[in-house]
Chain A
Amino acid sequence: MAGEAKVWTEGLNFFYGASQALHDINIKIPPHKVTAFIGPSGCGKSTFLRCLNRMNETIVGTRIEGKVFIEGHDIYDRSVDVVDIRRRIGMVFQKSNPFPKSIFDNVAYGLRIGGLKDKNKLAEVVEKALIDAALWDEVRDRLQESAMGLSGGQQQRLCIARALAVEPEVLLMDEPASALDPIATQRIEELIHQLKEKYTIIIVTHNMQQAARVSDITAFFYLGRLIEVDDTERIFTRPKLKQTEDYITGRFG
């Protein structure tokens, strides 16, 4: 884990009302790598992911302590515009959530709300994003059709294209393949592999084989704490802590 971190946290605590969901998380996430968060359900991995683009703020009664840095800037600092943060840090949700608009309008959404009106430029970026999300060949002839008519796997790749179109620096993926069949899952995993050249990717998964396949670094969460983080290969072959070993060998969780 050499080199500089793209994203890191210091003493991050997170609360849903009175119950503490995250305890003192300190992690460094390097650029242009895939970092996977694993752990049993309710361990806080998704909650932590949503701290990284301030999406937890949309949930009433939540509170955060500590710091989250992106390239050295604290994203929870008062002077920071949350809209700017979410533009720089894209997110793909567990359940694909295409908007009930055309395929084109879905991908163009982020650009349009950003103020881009030039039709040629829009078409250019939409095409590029769809190519990057490995969806272009399947939808190039029906860009004006509703996104709701796509298959589950296509919808999720559309959501990835939509996130890529605004050219984020970091891409957060919250169990992006959990609702997909094995073939669609494989396509998403291949896509993640390609995307890390351009983006820093953080993926939450409950599927350990998936973490082993797609990630360079793996972080193991348990009961709201970050237990161990290391190169994926090391985590899965010779973890330092017994807790981690128990989890990845299927002894609990």
Chain B
Amino acid sequence: MKKQTVETLGFNLFRLGSVFVVLILGAILFDIFYKGIGAISWEFLTAEPRMGMTEGGIFPAIVGTLYITLITALFSVPLGMFAAIYLNEYARQGKITRIIRLSIRNLSGVPSIVYGLFGVALFVRVLHLGTSILSAGLTLGLLTLPWTITASEEALKTVPKSYRDGALALGATKWQAIRTNVLPYAIPGMLTGTILGLARAAGETAPILFTGVAFFLPFLPDSPLSQFMALPYHLYVLATQHHDVEKVMPLAYGTALVLIAFVVGLNLAAVIIRYHFRKKRG
């Protein structure tokens, strides 16, 4: 074959691949939007479910998802960033740090149901937090830690060594160099990766299943130790566990739409943060 033919062939193959991916994604989003938008109303967003979840809204599920995402963020963002700073800046690079990094990578591949079981064992039983927002949020926090750590480390690696050396050569201590000359340039990337991890956690069902999510609650959680409703589990319930699945299908699609909007909102926040800091850095 002629070189030009191969070139054209390859180009079109790659193009086909990306078009295909976008099409599938578009089809899913369109389907959910088309079937779900009818369910969205002020009442749907602000009222409790009524009449055996066939009427009313999903307000408790929205609030529950917000709460656990908050707990997840409070737990895994600082912890993940600290771990990444230690691993990348302080730890002696060698066999042990390699093993730790490999373990962290592997943890991000562990099925989320396994995190759920671990959450039951540790938070619900051993630490006596019960089935609660706290248990579920912490379990999701564990799930996101590998992402947070990896993303934060990648962000730290993008800061040139010359920034660190330049500061050290001027008599900065290691922490001063990191604080004033590394973190300011790494934090946007750290936040972006972290928020993406949070968005993933917000959509998880398995880890919260055993650790605190409730099938139906007629009231809002009043403390971190309360049970809660959450969007992904509510969606699962409406779509598969309800006695009249046909009737609540529009509500299920409406819930899916709200969940997707929440996740897209988080991702958008990540993009805005990155854009803002990039502009500032000049």
Contacts and interface: CB of A to CB of B under 8 A. Distances in A.
Interface residues of A, number: 27
B171 interface: yes
A55 B171 CA distance: 11
A84 B92 CA distance: 23
A163 B166 CA distance: 9
A87 interface: yes
B170 A93 contact: no
Contact of A83 (B165, B171, B281): B171
B172 interface: yes
Count chain A CB atoms within 10 A of each CB in B163, B165, B185 and give the residue with the most.
Answer: B165
A248 B171 CA distance: 36
Contact of A163 (B162, B170, B180, B185): B170
Contact of B171 (A99, A114, A148, A159): A114
B165 A58 contact: yes
A93 B281 CA distance: 22
Interface in B223-237: none
Nearest to A96: B162
A99 B180 CA distance: 10
A99 B163 contact: yes
A45 interface: no
A110 B172 CA distance: 7
Given A60-B92, A100-B281, A146-B282, A83 B172 contact: yes
B168 A99 contact: no
Main secondary structure of the interface of A (DSSP, over half): helix
Given A100-B185, A114-B171, A166-B171, A60 B165 contact: no
Interface in B168-217: 168-173, 176, 180-181, 185
B167 interface: yes
B164 interface: yes
A110 B159 CA distance: 19
Contacts of A86: 168-171
B93 interface: yes
A166 B170 contact: yes
Main secondary structure of the interface of B (DSSP, over half): helix
Interface in A149-203: 149, 159, 162-163, 166
A99 B170 contact: no
Contacts of A87: 170-171
A90 interface: yes
Contacts of A109: 167, 170, 180-181
Interface string A37-50: 00000000000000
Interface string A69-103: 00000000000000110110011010101011000
Contacts of A90: 169-170
Q: Which 9 A-B pairs have the closest CB atoms?
A: A87-B171, A110-B170, A97-B162, A91-B169, A86-B171, A97-B166, A113-B172, A146-B282, A113-B176
24 contacts: A53-B169, A55-B165, A55-B168, A55-B169, A58-B165, A58-B168, A60-B93, A83-B171, A83-B173, A84-B171, A86-B169, A86-B170, A87-B171, A90-B169, A93-B162, A95-B162, A97-B160, A97-B163, A97-B165, A109-B167, A109-B170, A110-B170, A146-B282, A163-B170
